[in-house]
Amino acid sequence: MRKVNLLLMVMAFAATFQGCQQADDKGASAPIQINNELTADEISKGILSPEVLWKFGRVSGAEVSPCGKMVVYGISRYSVPDNKGVTNLFIVDVDGGEPRQLTDNAGSEFDAHWRPDGKRIGFISTRGGSAQIWEMNPDGTNMVQVTNIEEGINTFKYAPSGDRILYTKDVKFVKVTGAEIHPDMPKSTMKVYDNLMARHWDHWEDGAYSHIFVADYTNGKVGAGKDIMEGEIFEAPLSPYFDAADITFSPCGKMIVYACKKQYGRDFAVSTNADLFLYNIETGETKNLTEENVGYDKYPAFSPDGKMLAWQSMETPGYESDKHRLFVMDLATGTKQYLTKNFDQNADQITWSADGKFIYFISGIKGTEQLYKMDPQTLEIAQITTGKHNYSWFGFGNGALVAQKMSMSMAAELVRVDEATGADTQLTFTNKNIYENIKMGEVQERWVKTTDGKDMLVWVILPPNFDATKKYPALLYCQGGPQSTVGQFFSYRWNFQIMAAHGYVVVAPNRRGVPSFGQEWNAQISGDYSGQNIKDYLSAIDDVAKESWVDADRLGAVGASYGGYSVYYLAGMHNKRFKAFIAHNGMYNFESFYAATEETFFPNHDFGGSYWDKENKVAQRTFANSPHKLVQNWDTPIMVVVGENDFRIPYTEGLQAFNAAQLRGVPSKLLMFHNETHFVTKPQNAIIWQREFFGWLDQWLKK
């Protein structure tokens, strides 16, 4: 199965890896042993450590029952000795109470959905070997497998009418391997390509494409699936994240709307032109609903009466981080309306109210993610929640909103939100035993003046048991993306609290190029990688370094992806501010990156074009300011981290940087993770990553 971990979708091409991940148990095996209890030593120290971080239960995949009284959700837990994890399903009442565990550790259960009648819960499980649909009663009893689809499925949904399901699975189209092309050479491991994209994010293309199948369904009986994309060399949901929210049934169950980028090869690599397609199950006809828009169209949502369709749209072709516009369409007339034209923020997780009178969504504002409500008739928008936190999912239950909430100091949990006041009541306490014994550092909101007179939000995270009479080393955190907010996320790798727990003041600026501060702030970075955002980084660290409790002679800079590029660039022009650097999967040589990355639309937009386009002044300025052209100035210890299966920013970028540092005699270290991608996700690798991370910083900043 080529499906990319769905949880990476929130921070795509940002090296934060926030939230929880689907456990990597891909088949039936003996139950793994999970131990989330803290040791006496961990309790005695009372601070966050790499080992404690992997004892967190990670909440995901919530859905409210049709009656609105219960929520089914998943918790992923990990066994470090087994080096893998498992996801189990739980249920909790919307009005509160003790959560009940529904499944055991025999396999990973995820993608849970209530059957429309509320009598059963369907989910995908690997306990039978391949990923199949299973069902159980809401109390976890009478668990049975309801599909046996060859090679398994990726995701599924019930039709609201209750008489159909849809599921996605990979369909083989193109012969790629040497053994397929030359049957007389069955042991050949070569692959043959004659078009882009040969590889994507974390896998070499294998000639298979995710397709949508629809099947009749009656009381646990699933009929033969019909491929509604038969013969098409395209994928749905959209790759590389394969988010099931890209596909939806109409309320009557007779239509499916799905997002798809119906392009192939080079066209696919250079474009973001994804459209919404309406498939009529009864006639078999497919209609493009958004043909006129040449940017992304995705995440369709039917109104309860099925007459209107809402979705998220991006206008600019090739710009993956353009404004997330909220559109609606009258399906009878085809009339479309841009609802958030005068709203300088994004609209995500678009959901209609039960009566169809309002549209709810999540939007980023000043480094947080909050819940909003819109009247599509008056275009009036009301912010429901405020505070220092991120909401990442919500639904409706029993007269309230049910949501998933996190912050830099708290991993994701489910809460009930009073719409009238915005106040929330916590429903789940997955990691209570950890919070009772581990002290978190204070998170401060700080506004810093930039060199061009703007106000920039900088999060400052102080060590636990902070003492203002002492001096602490400080870390400048460089965000990935580049268009990715430094929000109130709880990361399981780039975790600010674990950095603070190691005795560092963390300086995390929302520099130019991040969302939630208006479109001008977000868009400025494109074509200006070496410009204002770099100045913003320096403004942030220089401002905090003035504090009496920061040792300005012990500053470090760390980051991944675009943050890794930022570290490489700063290494060549920081004017001796920093005493140590760590760059993870960053761009080092723009020309080699451009020629090796797979989603070519990204550098075409953000760099301004290709390096061989000599008439393109924006592109030529970008390539002229590649970090490798400043390597002659490197004089500060640097650690480079790469994943061999990272095809977004190939590991050779980091290898070039490490080799250059070594040849220049700069103290340097290379961490090569042979079985990791753009992210380090396996428990033992992740713990080693943290140990090496702090070992390097302590060596150079705590002398």
In a 13 Å sphere around the CA of 655, the CA atoms on its Cβ side amount to: 11
Confidence of residue 459 (pLDDT cuts 50, 70, 90): very high
Q: Which amino acid is it at 403?
A: A
Please work out, in degrees rounded to the nearest 5, the angle formed at the alpha carbon of residue 170 by the alpha carbons of 164 and 174. Answer: 140
Per the annotation, the verdict on 678 as an active-site residue is yes
Per the annotation, the verdict on 646 as an active-site residue is yes
Q: What is the pLDDT of residue 30?
A: 64
Judge whether residue 27 has pLDDT over 50: no
Helix orientation angle between 562-571 and 532-545, rounded to the nearest 10 degrees: 70
Judge whether residue 13 has pLDDT over 90: no
The structure tokens listed for 190 are 């070569």
Question: With contact defined as beta carbons under 8 Å apart, do 167 and 159 qualify?
Answer: no
How far is Cα 668 from Cα 658, in angstroms, rounded to an integer?
7
pLDDT digits (tens, 9 = 90+) for 493-509: 999 999 999 999 999 99
What residues form DSSP beta bridges with 38? none
Distance of CA 250 to the CA centre of its chain: 27
Q: What is the pLDDT of residue 8?
A: 34
- For the segment 171-177, the average pLDDT, to the nearest whole number, is 95
Q: What is the pLDDT of residue 29?
A: 55
Q: Which amino acid is it at 193?
A: Y
SS3 content of the chain, % helix, strand, coil (to 5): 20, 30, 50
Backbone phi, then psi, for 542, in 5-degree steps? -65, -40
Residues 6+ apart with CB under 8 A from 409: 440, 441, 443, 490, 497
Q: SS3 of 244, please?
A: helix
Q: Which amino acid is it at 89?
A: L
Q: What is the pLDDT of residue 100?
A: 97
Cα distances (angstroms) measured from residue 292 to each of 258, 315, 396: 16, 10, 33
How far is Cα 571 from Cα 566, in angstroms, rounded to an integer?
8
Confidence of residue 129 (pLDDT cuts 50, 70, 90): confident
Helix (H) or strand (E) holding 24: none
Number of H helices, E strands in the chain: 14, 39
How far is Cα 414 from Cα 405, in angstroms, rounded to an integer?
6
How far is Cα 391 from Cα 53, in angstroms, rounded to an integer?
21
Q: What is the pLDDT of residue 423?
A: 97
pLDDT digits (tens, 9 = 90+) for 626-646: 999 999 999 999 999 999 999
Distance of CA 349 to the CA centre of its chain: 14
Judge whether residue 452 has pLDDT over 60: yes
Instruction: Give the residue, 104 or 381, on which the prediction is more confident.
Output: 381
Confidence of residue 22 (pLDDT cuts 50, 70, 90): very low
How far is Cα 578 from Cα 566, in angstroms, rounded to an integer?
13
CATH hierarchy code of domain 440-701: 3.40.50.1820
Per the residue annotation, which of 113, 200, 211, 678 is the catalytic one?
A: 678
How far is Cα 416 from Cα 424, in angstroms, rounded to an integer?
5
Residue 354, exposed/middle/buried by CB under 10 A (0-12, 13-18, 19+)?
A: exposed
Judge whether residue 17 has pLDDT over 80: no
Confidence of residue 107 (pLDDT cuts 50, 70, 90): confident
Lowest mean per-residue pLDDT among 26-30, 80-84, 130-134, 190-194: 26-30
Strand 381-383 with 203-204, pairing:
unpaired
Cα distances (angstroms) measured from residue 107 to each of 54, 333, 562: 19, 48, 36
pLDDT digits (tens, 9 = 90+) for 39-75: 999 999 999 999 999 999 999 999 999 999 999 999 9
Distance of CA 163 to the CA centre of its chain: 33
Per the residue annotation, which of 566, 626, 646, 668 is the catalytic one?
A: 646
Cα distances (angstroms) measured from residue 316 to each of 44, 294, 341, 627: 54, 7, 15, 28
How far is Cα 532 from Cα 526, in angstroms, rounded to an integer?
11
How far is Cα 34 from Cα 428, in angstroms, rounded to an integer?
19
From 645, 524, 600, select the one nearest 195 (Cα to Cα).
600
pLDDT digits (tens, 9 = 90+) for 345-374: 999 999 999 999 999 999 999 999 999 999
pLDDT digits (tens, 9 = 90+) for 260-319: 999 999 999 999 999 999 999 999 999 999 999 999 999 999 999 999 999 999 999 999
The structure tokens listed for 641 are 């981290």
pLDDT digits (tens, 9 = 90+) for 645-671: 999 999 999 999 999 999 999 999 999
pLDDT digits (tens, 9 = 90+) for 560-618: 999 999 999 999 999 999 999 999 999 999 999 999 999 999 999 999 999 999 999 99
Q: What is the mean pLDDT of the chain?
A: 94
Residues composing the chain: 703
Strand 550-560 with 472-478, pairing:
parallel
% of the chain beyond a pLDDT of 70: 96
Per the residue annotation, which of 407, 561, 626, 668 is the catalytic one?
A: 561
Could you give the maximum distance between any two Cα atoms of the chain, in Å?
A: 75
Question: With contact defined as beta carbons under 8 Å apart, do 664 and 572 qualify?
Answer: no
- For the segment 194-222, the average pLDDT, to the nearest whole number, is 95
Written as one string, the DSSP assignment of 143-175 is -EE----TT--SEEEE-TTSSEEEEEEEEE-S-
